[in-house]
Chain A
Amino acid sequence: EAAVTQSPRNKVAVTGGKVTLSCNQTNNHNNMYWYRQDTGHGLRLIHYSYGAGSTEKGDIPDGYKASRPSQENFSLILELATPSQTSVYFCASGDARDWGVGRYFGAGTRLSVL
């Protein structure tokens, strides 16, 4: 069964600290995505990737970096976390059968930056 696994599920960080959110997919999908979800905004795309070694900026990339070391893994990195980055983060994977967009989403990571 297709799966996207995010870790950690919950994270509390301090302002100015470094945070890494991890995502693993077993779907063998080329495309992977990072979104954040905030009330009143729906889901907004931060970074995405077309395959290992590739990262692309989404609609709100400022303050975030991404890394795709392999087909299965896609990380989101907050080098200097700020309280405005408190949110729920979702990773997704997809391929051309679904027009490449995110078909399977992880369960989310709730991040609080204090």
Chain B
Amino acid sequence: GDSVTQKQGQVTLSEDDFLFINCTYSTTTYPTLFWYVQYPGQGPQLLLKVTTANNKGISRGFEATYDKGTTSFHLQKASVQESDSAVYFCALALNSAGNKLTFGIGTRVLVRP
């Protein structure tokens, strides 16, 4: 079945460090891919959406590029701040599945001041 894999359970950084979160996916067709961010005590927020048409998404200093060759959709940010501490979820949606999202298990990012 369709799946999304986030292998990094937790990433610990210092302010101004580079953030890279790995996400790979497995489907039989080309999906639309999403990154969500969840701050403590809140629901997830949509951070980025990328389709095969545009290949890259940028929002709030975060960037993700859709690589069909390696079926990956990594999230990166050049310089993190303490306020970026949150859980980040990669997710995919397939046209054939309507509007359903399949989420990864999430990566907890802790940014130390």
Contact = CB atoms under 8 A, between A and B. Distances in A.
A101 interface: yes
Interface in A15-70: 31, 33, 40-45, 48, 50, 56, 58-59
Contacts of A56: 98
Interface string B100-113: 11111110000000
B44 interface: yes
Contact of A58 (B91, B93, B100): B100
Contacts of A43: 44, 89, 101, 103
A98 B57 CA distance: 13
Interface string B31-67: 0101000000111111001010000000000000000
A76 to B, nearest CB: 15
Query: Of B89, B99, B100, which is in contact with the most chain A CB atoms at under 10 Å from its CB?
Result: B99
Contacts of A44: 103
A99 B49 contact: yes
Interface in B84-102: 89, 91, 93, 98-102
A101 B103 contact: no
Interface of B: 32, 34, 41-46, 49, 51, 89, 91, 93, 98-106
Interface of A: 4, 31, 33, 40-45, 48, 50, 56, 58-59, 90, 92, 94, 98-108
Given A43-B44, A99-B51, A104-B46, 19 more contacts: A4-B43, A41-B105, A42-B103, A45-B100, A48-B99, A48-B100, A59-B102, A90-B43, A90-B44, A92-B44, A94-B99, A98-B46, A99-B32, A99-B99, A101-B34, A101-B101, A103-B46, A105-B43, A107-B42
